[in-house]
Amino acid sequence: MPADPPVDPRGPRFAAWLTSLVLALVLLTGSWRLLAAQMLIFAMCAFISLQLNPYGQIYRRVVAPRLKPNSEREETAPLRFAQGVGFVFAAVGVAGYASGLTTLGIVATAFALAAALLNAAFGLCLGCEMFLLLRRFRTPAAQS
C-alpha cells in the first residue's frame, strides 16, 4: 500500500458523519446495493488511497476552505486500516442482505454504524485504535 500524506483530522470525522448517514439509510431501507456502494468506498480507501474517498473530496473542496486553518495532521496508516475493518463489516452486511440473511446484514451494518458514529461524534476511531494496538504487540517481536 502506498503511503498517503498526513491529513487534517477533521476530514475523517466529516467522512464518518456521511458514512453514518449512509449506514443509517441502509438500516432503514435494507438496501444491500447502498451498502455495497459504501463497501466500495471503504475498499478504495483501504486498499488504494484515502485520496479517493468522495467524502474526503467534499471535505477538502467545500468544507475545509470555510474553516480556520489547522496545522494538526494525522497519519493515514491507522485510517486506512480502519477503512479495511469497515470494508469487512460492509462485505458481511452485503452478503447477509443479498442472500436473505437479513439479521446478519442488520448486525454487521449496525456494528459499522456504531463505529462510524463513535468516530464522528467523539473522534474515537475504533479501527485506528485496533491498528495501534496491533502495532504495539507486533513491535517487540520485530525488534528481537
The tens place of each residue's pLDDT in the chain, 144 residues long, gives 567 889 999 999 999 999 999 999 999 999 999 999 999 999 999 999 999 999 999 999 999 899 998 889 999 999 999 999 999 999 999 999 999 999 999 999 999 999 999 999 999 999 999 999 999 988 665 555
In a domain, 52, yes or no: yes
Report the pLDDT value the prediction gives residue 96, as an integer from 0 to 100.
98
* Cα Rg, the chain, nearest whole Å: 16
Domain count along the chain: 1
Report the pLDDT value the prediction gives residue 1, as an integer from 0 to 100.
57
In a domain, 67, yes or no: yes
Report the pLDDT value the prediction gives residue 4, as an integer from 0 to 100.
84
Q: CA geometry: angle at 98 spanning 105 and 108, to 5°?
A: 15
Report the pLDDT value the prediction gives residue 26, as an integer from 0 to 100.
99
Domain holding 134, by residue range, is 10-143
In a domain, 88, yes or no: yes
